[in-house]
Structures are given as C-alpha cells and as structure tokens.
Structure 1
C-alpha cells in the first residue's frame, strides 16, 4: 500500500488508450494520489491485488463501484456555446441566418446581465457533469464579466473548464446591440479574461484555462484577428473558433482573402498547437495536412453538422492524416448536452458518408466509400481524442492521468442495460452502455479524484 495513495477504486473499467480498440479492466484496483492523479492500475491477476484491496478497505479509502456498475473516463466536450443553453432544442429547423439573427444573438445579448449569466452557467455546468462530461471547452458570450462567471462556475462545481469570451467586432457583420465596441476593446478584454482566469487556478485543482475566441472569421475584422493572434503567441494560449463549418462560411472567407478558412486562420496566428476548430467539414486533404502539421485539433460536432453544416466530417481520412479530433455537443446548434448522443451520431454520420443517402443516384456515386468509424472509435474521440487535442493528461485510466470517472449502473429499473445475460462479452457490455445509456444510468462522477456528482 503506497503512502501517497489517498483513494483506491475497485471495479471494472472500460477505456480506449489506443484508437480503434478498447481495454477492459475487470475487477481492477486504481490507486489515486493526493493530487487526483492515477498512481497505479493493479489488475485482477496481479499477485498483490487481493492484499492491496484488503489494506485499502481496512484503511477506509477503498471505493467499490459495485455489482453491475462500470467505470468509463469522463467525457471531453470540445465545443459548447454556454450562452446558448436556454435555447437548446429550439428553432433548429430555421435557416442559419434566421437562427442567428432572430434567436441566438438576442439570447446571447442577455448575458450583459451578470446575475442571469450566473444562473444559466451554474445550471449548465452541473447538467454536463451529471451526464459524465468532466472537461469542456466553452464559448462564452461577448461580455467579459459574464465569461468570468462561466469560469467561476467551472471552478465552483469542480469541472475542468476552458473558457473564452466570444469576439465579434465587425460592425458590418454583427448587430449593433451585440458586438465588441472596437478591435482594441475586444483584444483588451480578452487579455483581461486571461488574467482573471489564470488567477482562479489555485482554487481549481482540476484546471481552468482562458481561451482566445474569435467567433469565426466572417464576424471579425482583420485588425482584431491580428490582435488575437498576437495575444495567442504572447501567452501561448488556447484558441478556439469555427472553421469551414458550411458552404456560406467557406465561400465568404475565400471571397474576402482569396484563400480558404484554415490558411487565413494560420496567417493570423490563430491556427496553431492546441487550437480547437469546430466543424471543419469542408477540409481538403491539403488542409488536413496543415492541421496535422501545426498541431491544431478539430471539434467534431455530428449533431449540429446535420442541421447547419450540410456535410459530414471525414473523420477516418483526417485521423489517417494525423489530425487530432474530439467530439463537441455544440450546444445549441446541437440540441443534446449528452455526449452519448454525439458518440451515436458520429457513428451514424460516418456510415451515411460512406454509403451515401440518395437512393436515386447510382450506387457507385452515392457515397464517399471507406469512411465509417466504430462506436469504440467514437468513444476514443469523446475521451482520449479530446484530451489529445487539448494536450491534457485525461481521457484514459493510465498512470499519470487525472482520475476522471463516470460510474454507469447497468441494473437500474426502467434503465436496465444488462441484456438478460445474452451476448455478455465485454464488447457487448460496452456497446450497450454506449448506445443505450441515459443520464439516469450515470450514478457518480469524479473529476481529478473528487466526487462531484452523486445520484
């Protein structure tokens, strides 16, 4: 029994240390140190296993998952518009321009009210934690004070948060009632956010980071994009934006600069190591190579892509190019705060990309071919893939990684996932969890070794 171990967790765990396969740790003992980091994983067949279990039990630090319960890593959600939470599920049948101008911008402008922001953000963070999401990359509104409250909500609830104030300064592209006053003001407030979020770190052992956040190129002037790129280089900060989300954005950037979105972002210093670019469905092979070269990541948002991107991200091709990819719910262009829904949709979208959807076209012309991903690969994207994109030691149950855990109970009345003992191999158990779990099945959630949800 190691002296630096503060907790030990006994149970069966699924994780994906390698893309394309899963590892089942049956009746394993995971030792967690005082910093909430995994110190050691002791497998059932290890000669020390039973003795260590007894020792941790006798010392009062053993946590047993229980019969029919399985541990999965906490999810990493790479793309959430926190200020759109009140409209999740609303108006998704409207065209993007109406959705933004009549719904989204008026809603986001309400976050000038800090009390309103505090209420909404506190609820959203708790809701995501309750669904097993332990790390989130957030777009805030264009308001500095409200975005500081978003970071504080993450700190208070124990969620690992990466938080940005949305920058949208171009007076020709944004409504007068909701935009940054000037490029200079937008850069100054982003710098202030960096200082204020970094000051919260002593109170956030799980981690909290500022993110430089131009909404997307069409909403920003050249001056602000250049200023934000300089700020990213100065602070070696995270960057997030939208890139090649749909035909309109792609065509608008090309007409403005004579080059596609990724190259424009790169030239402003905004496509770099640990930049997280949402959607990217129009990326060509050359642009995928650029992402891999600079170390930028993609937030794949398969649900919102169905509504607003009019295209499917070629995950398999981009992964083979070495691009870092995770999943994003994209609240509220994506209606669901549940990453399980994104796992399922990522698989379905890849199948539709491969085979095509229009039966009136000849079969050879119908789909792209060789594009499908498995549900296990989608789980990797939701955990280790997001961690890889962020460069954070989370997403798997390996020594040196933060202990982020969601405990899934498969034996609940009205939410039974046991399958009646039929098809009970580990891969079958995992598939049922990924395809059939509801929020009710998630009973506990831990972040950095600290329990933050108990149902």
Structure 2
C-alpha cells in the first residue's frame, strides 16, 4: 500500500474533556497504515501536501456532509453471546448465565457453529464503527483461535481471549475445563497460536482471560499470572461487577478482586478490568499505580450490577478507562450507544430516582459530558489498551470511520444555521446508527 491522504471535516479528542474539530483537515498515512501528518488548511505545508496527493491520484476527499472520526474501541464484548443479545435481560445474572449463556457458549465446541456466528458478529461490529474490539471467546481453544483468524481476515483490530475457568463447584459440569493444569496448558498454546496467526503483532493479539474469581481456582490465577509475565500479553477479566461477586472474593480470600489479581500477577499495564463497580480507594490507587484499565459497560451495569460505576471519580482520578458494549449483557453492538448510555447513566446517578426523597436524591457533581464520552469511546479506549489508536496524530494507526449526515438512511441531521461544532458531535453520538456509517478503515485498509 502506497502513501495516501484524506481531506475531511475531522473530529477527535486528543485531550480528555475537550475535542478538536478541523474543517477540511488533510491526513496523510503511509503504506503501513500509520498516520504521518495531520494538517489544517492554515498550515504552511497544507496546499503542497494536498496538491502532491492530487497529482498522484492518492487523495480522497470527503463531502461536506461527511465527518471523519477515529475508529471506536470496544473494551469488553463476549463474542459467543451474540445470538442471545436482547434475550433474558429481566433475569438475575445467575439465572441468565445458566439458562442462556453457558449452554450457548458450550455450543462453540462445534467449529461449524462458530463459523456460523463469528463472521457475522465481526461484520456487525465493523459496520457500527468498532475498529478495535477486546473479545471474550469460550473455553475451547480451536473456536477461539478461529475468532482471531476471522478478525484478521476481515481487518478488525482484535484482542481475543480463550476463557479460563476451572473451579468445578462454580461451573456447569458440561462447561468447565478438565483440570487446572490442562487449563494452563491450553492457555499457553492459545497465546502461541494467536501470535502465529498475526506474527507482526499489528492487528490480532492474544489475551489471558480468567472469566472471574468465582470460576477460577487460585492455582489457575497464579499460573495465568506466570504466563502473562512470560509472554507480556494483555489480560482481561471481570472485577467487582456485583455485590455477590465482591462478597465471594472477600469471603474466600479476605481480599478484593483487585488485590487478588495483583497478588497473582494478573494486574499489569495491559490489564482491562470489566465493570469494576465496587472498588475501594486502595483498589483505585493500585489500578492507577500499575497502569491497568477499566472497561465501563453502562448498559449491562443497569441490567446486572444493581449499582452505578463511579465514572466521574475514575475520570477525575486519571484512571485508564474506556467503554465496553458487554455483548450480550449489553444487547447493542454500538459504542456510540455505549457513549450515550455513559452520559445517561451519570445523569441518573447525579439526579437520583427516589421520588419520596425531596432533596439530595442523587450524588452531586457526578455527571459526565458527551465530549468526555466521545473521548472514552476513542482515545480513552486506546490508552487503556496501550495501543496507538483512537486519535488522529502522527505515529498512530489510521483507524477511522465516516459518519454521513443528511443522507438517506442517516438519522444524523445537521442544520448549518442551528448547529455548532459541539452540537454536531453530540448529534453524531446520539443518532449514529449503522446506516449512517458509510466507510470504516483499520490500519489504512478500508473494511466497510
């Protein structure tokens, strides 16, 4: 691939809490899909760069009604649960897992079943603008490796984890690993095999994935921690998602989830903790000092956590945090929708809901803005993963999407005389659905 350039109306969020809008920006990318220059029209080299690419037929101009944004980052999604999205969400978590999730996940031991579902899922997420996804797969190695191959073939940046769960007392007898040693052996082989799938380590990454503390023996956690140290790979797991999960760890180990993960070597700069609602102040300090991150999943928290994640405090403490769809606990495959949910979640938390309390219903000063939610969906997610994605600047991957306004099928309606630059960004977050996303690139490769 040769160097190419784009001229477009551009939105991104290089700094948390603010956004940049550059009208008719020129972005140049090299043959590896890396951004080399981002110039505004008033830059002295702008005209020369545009003319150079025009003369080489390597310039793409977007229309005035199109907006270029960084690709969206989904920090937490359960790939095998895609067929159950939208089902059983009125059930308690334990019942939902046993009636829907575990039986469905066990079906992926049949590669034919995996081949029916995973390509459709990856296509769906790409179509919704998710250029980077962190996936929980299943306990079976072959279909989990197949998911990694699908992501590479379709061009999605993916971090894929074969789930590890060996505590037989907490798992269905039909969906649990045969032994701790086998679980560790399979996890190591998975890491090696996924590294071979994408030997350049530019698109697909293996992830060590203990499901959560209740389904893991301590020996498994310790063994996985040694693998993380040896292979320097990413880690993902659930942390302090509910009262029950928090209490389980405290009763079994007299520790918090974060303390246990840290003790077993699973808490690193490349660790993503899903949910993390019930964190102590000490937990937050540990997460910050290590540089680990949090996947905020606002919609699934509403269904299953019975509490609100303190996002405002996490942002103010400068923790690494981004957004997760949590398919299918969150039933929607859109990180734009997760951004809207994050804002809504924070407003309900601040306002409170109990009409019998006339004053101080909620928690003051806990709201999150749409601009902050946009940062979470893009740059915040990239920082959490420690990957050069989520913002348009030299040295970063050209992962991008185009939102079309005022066109057939798009719900994003822009009125030049009524909408400011921030108004348009907020409308994009609220109203963008799959038909409004006309193009998607990952590493400079057009994938939609």
Instruction: Indicate which of 29, 44, 61 corresponds to 2:58.
Output: 61
Within 5 A, what are the aligned runs for 1:310-329? Answer: 310-329=306-325
Q: Retained in 1: the 8 A contact 2:13–2:379? A: yes
- 2-side partners of 1:54 and 1:231: how far apart? 51
* Aligned-pair CA distance for 1:118: 2.1
- Give SS of 2:95's match: helix
Structure 1 residue 259, shift from structure 2 partner: 1.5
- Residues 49, 449 of structure 1: alpha-carbon distance in 2 compared, 3 angstrom cutoff: same
Answer yes or no: is 1:396 the counterpart of 2:391: yes
How far apart are the structure 2 equivalents of 1:292 and 1:362?
37
- The TM-score normalised by the length of structure 2 is 0.98
What secondary structure is seen at the aligned counterpart in 1 of 2:88? coil
Once the two structures are TM-superposed, the CA of residue 48 in structure 1 deviates from its matched residue by: 2.8
Q: CA deviation at 1:72?
A: 0.6
- Kept after mapping to 1: 8 A contact 2:34/2:398: yes
Structure 2 residue 258 is the aligned partner of structure 1 residue 257: no
Q: Does 1:303 align with 2:299?
A: yes
TM-fit CA distance, 1:218: 0.3
Give secondary structure in 1 for the equivalent of 2:24. Answer: strand
In structure 2, the partner of 1:409 is 404
Rounded to whole Å, the distance in 1 between the matches of 2:248 and 2:299 is 23
Per-residue CA deviations over 1:356-403 (Å, capped at 9, x if unaligned) read: 111212422x21211111011001111111111110001001111000
TM-score by length of 1: 0.96
Contact 2:405/2:414 (8 A) holds in 1? no
Alignment of 1:218-297 (within 5 A): 218-297=214-293
Q: 1:289 and 1:452 mapped to 2: Cα distance?
A: 40
Q: Tell me, in whole angstroms, the C-alpha distance in 2 between the residues paired with 1:414 and 1:311.
A: 36
Aligned twin of 2:155: 158
Partner residue of 2:371? 376
Provide Cα deviations, 1:407-453, integer angstroms capped at 9, x if missing partner: 00002125252333342221111111111111100000000001010
In structure 2, the partner of 1:431 is 426
Separation (CA, whole Å) in 1 of partners of 2:441 and 2:202: 10
1:12 corresponding residue in structure 2:
9
How far, CA to CA, are the matches of 2:225 and 2:202 in structure 1? 27
Distance in 2 of aligned mates of 1:152 and 1:43: 38
**Once structures 1 and 2 are overlaid, which stretch shifts more, 429-438 or 29-38?**
429-438
Q: Does residue 195 of structure 1 match 2:167?
A: no
Cα offset, 1:199, TM superposition: 0.5
- Confirm or deny that 1:386 pairs with 2:381: yes
Q: How far has the Cα of 1:274 moved from its partner?
A: 1.4
Aligned match of 2:438 in 440, 443, 447? 443
Q: Do 2:69 and 2:401's aligned partners in 1 also have CA atoms closer than 8 Å? A: yes
Aligned to 1:210: 206
Shift of 1:206: 4.3
Q: Secondary structure at the match of 1:363?
A: coil
In the other structure, the counterpart of 1:452 is 447
Indicate if the aligned counterparts of 1:159 and 1:206 stay in contact, CA closer than 8 A.
Answer: no
Match of 2:176 in 1: 179
Mapping for residues 17-96 of structure 1, pairs under 5 Å: 17-96=14-93
SS at match of 1:428: helix
Distance 2:63 2:43 in 1: 20
CA distance in 1, matches of 2:282, 2:2: 47
Shift of 1:230: 1.1
Contact 1:289 1:321 in 2 (8 A): no
Contact 1:118 1:153 in 2 (8 A): no
Contact 2:78–2:326 (CA under 8 A) maintained in structure 1 = yes
Tell me how many residue pairs correspond in the alignment: 448
CA distance in 2, matches of 1:370, 1:276: 26
Supply the distance in 2 between the matched residues of 1:420 and 1:180 (Cα, whole angstroms): 57
- 2:411/2:431 contact within 8 Å kept: no
Please give the per-residue CA displacement for 1:1-37, whole angstroms capped at 9, x wherever unaligned.
xxx9611001111000000000001101100001100
In structure 2, distance between residues paired with 1:65 and 1:187: 49
Mean Cα deviation higher: 387-396 or 258-267: 258-267
Distance 2:412 2:86 in 1: 27
Long gaps (5+) in structure 2: none
Report if the CA contact (8 A) 2:238-2:275 is conserved.
Answer: yes
- 1:139 and 2:131 equivalent? no
3-state SS in 2 of match to 1:420 = coil
RMSD: 1.3
Consecutive unaligned residues of structure 1, counting only runs of 5 or more, are none
- Which residue number corresponds to residue 116 of structure 2? 119
